[in-house]
Amino acid sequence: MRTIIANWKMQLTVSEAEALARSLAESLPKSKRDSRVVVCPSFPALVPVKAALGESGILLGAQDVCEQEKGAWTGEVSARELVDIGTQAVIIGHSERRSAAKETDELVNAKVKRALAAKLLPVVCVGESREEREKGRRDTVVEKQVRAAFFGVDLPRKSEVVVAYEPTWAIGTGQAVDPEDAARSHFVIRETLRDLYSQETADRSCSIIYGGSVDRANIDAFFQRSIIEGVLVGGASLQAKEFLAIVDAAERAAQAPRQG
């Protein structure tokens, strides 16, 4: 089963988010799907989007969560609140938060622990900058971020995490990573998780997805590689037609033999 996550960032008003969610729910009846679809609106849109998703089986995700449980944290949103309104997943450590909000590996780690404790599915973003890639440090950076994000994180039998490989230079630029190249980073992430946990635990509890300029034109090449278990989509998730084409590609790929 592939995981397709829409990250709507701060691109829509609440009513636009609601309308988009309604249109996805109408077009993606649960019974027909072989993939897991998650939409992540901004905080004020979570409740109306949840209602608009209705019984479609599309999951609701937030774009961030506070690492603290509760208390005097002005401007923050807790995992308890997210769960209370029916949120099922949360993006953690997106590169836009790592850079703009100066989120550190330690903070990402605390947020992963908080999300898991609240039974939210963490979608943990990792990925190198262009400069790091040019210096040949891609694998080292990605491995370090994964190790830091999961430091001291327990993954008991029913727990699940998603790691999104999102090189910062590929996000919102129209320059997706070559799928073969992305597969290499997925391999590094998979091996790191197997080393941190056991192979059995890592393979049971962790999926690895790709994000960065995914669209309907390049999606098939990503889904041809079995090591790429889904995608995190920004720009191309803002229009129902574009996003549905990506979900369709996942459905097609589920029927086709895989390689790599």
Using CB under 6 A as the binding rule, the residues of this chain from 166 to 185 that contact ligand PGA are 166, 171-172
Between residues 123 and 146, which has the closer beta carbon with respect to ligand PGA? Answer: 123
- From the list 94, 132, 186, 229, the catalytic residue is 94
Between residues 125 and 141, which has the closer beta carbon with respect to ligand PGA? Answer: 125
Region of 136-144, 150-158, 200-208, 226-234 interacting with ligand PGA (CB under 6 A): 226-234
Question: Under the criterion CB under 6 A, does residue 232 sit at the interface with ligand PGA?
Answer: yes
Supply 146's token pair: 């994964």
Q: Which x/- pattern over 201-220 shows residues binding ligand PGA (rule: CB under 6 A)? A: ----------xxxx------
Q: What element of type H or E holds 34?
A: none
Nearest distance in Å: CB 109, ligand PGA = 20
Nearest distance in Å: CB 249, ligand PGA = 14
Grouping H, G, I as helix, E, B as strand and the rest as coil, residue 113 is: helix
Residue the block writes with tokens 């799907």 = 33
Using CB under 6 A as the binding rule, the residues of this chain from 121 to 150 that contact ligand PGA are none
Q: Is 94 a catalytic residue?
A: yes
Query: Could you give the residue numbers annotated as active site?
Result: 94, 166
Applying CB under 6 A, the residues found at the interface with ligand PGA are: 7, 166, 171-172, 211-214, 232-236
